[in-house]
């Protein structure tokens, strides 16, 4: 497919490389069309995918990692992996979920690299400026308490909780992601929720 590390900056093709098809509004094409062209090495088509799904991937990674510096690295790594593996994607219409799986794996790998500590302090929207300082302080304390509760979960429980509660994965998707039976996922998630509820009892 050419250089496996495409620039995520928009490149302007030379006039001689353009065809009537290239002059069409590529950004309006459906996912299947875009993926087909990108899989053939069309960097401009791949950049449409970057613009289309990059914000969603970045938002997801930020929610999982709680760190904007790491988020940019994870999203960049995810798109590089996607560029390399795109020819193996048989159904271009599922590219959104496929990209989200990639960024999910990259995010989990990054969490593992820092001993699976999940900091969610940046997840909630900040309190309105008009709120009293006491309300703001209470909100921050609640966020800190939840972050601490998650840090006390086992790595397996934390992974299940993050994928279910933050990413919205189904039980089957989590089982596939972690390569464990669905019954194991249900057990891990039940224990994770029970532990989080117990830790957050004073905030109910």
pLDDT digits (tens, 9 = 90+) for 39-71: 998 889 999 999 999 998 988 888 777 766 788
Domain count, the chain: 2
Structure confidence at residue 197 (pLDDT):
83
Residues 39 and 126 in one domain: no
Mean pLDDT, residues 134-144 taken together: 61
What's the length of the chain? 204
Residue 112: exposure state from Cβ atoms within 10 A (0-12, 13-18, ≥19)? exposed
131 and 53, same domain (yes or no): no
Domain extent for 149: 121-204
pLDDT exceeds 60 at position 76: yes
Residues 132 and 160 both lie in one domain: yes
82 shares a domain with 25: yes
Pick from 59-63, 121-125, 153-157: least confident: 121-125
169 and 204, same structural domain?
A: yes
Among 89, 114, 139, where does a domain finish? Answer: 114
Residue with tokens 């279910």, as numbered in its chain: 164
Closest CA to 94 of 31, 48, 46, 163: 31
Residue 168's CATH number: 1.10.10.10
97 lies in the same domain as 149: no
What is the average pLDDT value for the chain, to the nearest integer?
A: 75
Q: Are residues 69 and 145 in the same domain?
A: no
Identify the pLDDT of residue 146. 72
Domain boundary among the residues 84, 114, 144 is at 114
Based on the fold, state whether residues 22 and 88 are members of the same structural domain.
yes
- Write down the residue that tokens 């990054």 correspond to: 110
Sorting pLDDT into bands at 50, 70 and 90, what band is 142? Answer: low
User: Do 83 and 176 fall into the same domain?
Assistant: no
Contact 163, 194 (CB under 8 A): no
* pLDDT reading at 21 higher than 50: no
CA distances from 202 to 153, 162, 189, 196 (A): 18, 22, 21, 11
Domain boundary among 114, 147, 168: 114
Report which of 159, 146, 161, 147 is spatially closest to residue 193, judged by C-alpha positions: 161
- In this predicted model, which residue has the larger pLDDT, 24 or 192? 192
User: Are residues 104 and 126 both part of a single domain?
Assistant: no
Same domain, 135 and 204: yes
Residues 108, 134, single domain; the answer is: no
Identify the residue with better confidence: 127 or 140: 140
pTM: 0.51
Tokens standing for residue 152: 């006390």
Can you tell me which residue has the tokens 């928009």? 10
């Amino acid at each position: 497919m050419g250089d496996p590390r495409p620039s995520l900056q928009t490149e302007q093709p030379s006039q001689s490389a353009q065809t009537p098809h290239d002059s069409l509004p590529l950004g309006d094409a459906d996912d299947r069309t875009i993926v087909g062209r990108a899989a053939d090495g069309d960097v401009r088509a791949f950049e449409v995918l970057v613009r289309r799904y990059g914000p969603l991937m970045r938002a997801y990674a930020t929610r999982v990692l709680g760190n904007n510096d790491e988020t940019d690295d994870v999203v960049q790594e995810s798109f590089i992996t996607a560029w390399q593996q795109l020819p193996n994607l048989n159904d271009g219409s599922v590219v959104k979920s496929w990209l989200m799986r990639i960024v999910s794996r990259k995010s989990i790998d990054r969490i593992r690299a820092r001993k699976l500590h999940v900091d969610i302090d940046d997840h909630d929207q900040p309190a309105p400026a008009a709120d009293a300082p006491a309300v703001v302080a209470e909100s921050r304390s609640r966020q800190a308490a939840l972050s601490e509760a998650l840090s006390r979960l086992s790595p397996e429980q934390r992974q299940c909780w993050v994928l279910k509660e933050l990413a919205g994965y189904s039980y089957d998707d989590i089982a596939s992601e972690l390569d464990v039976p669905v019954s194991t996922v249900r057990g891990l998630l039940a224990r994770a929720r029970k532990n989080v509820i117990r830790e957050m009892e004073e905030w109910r």
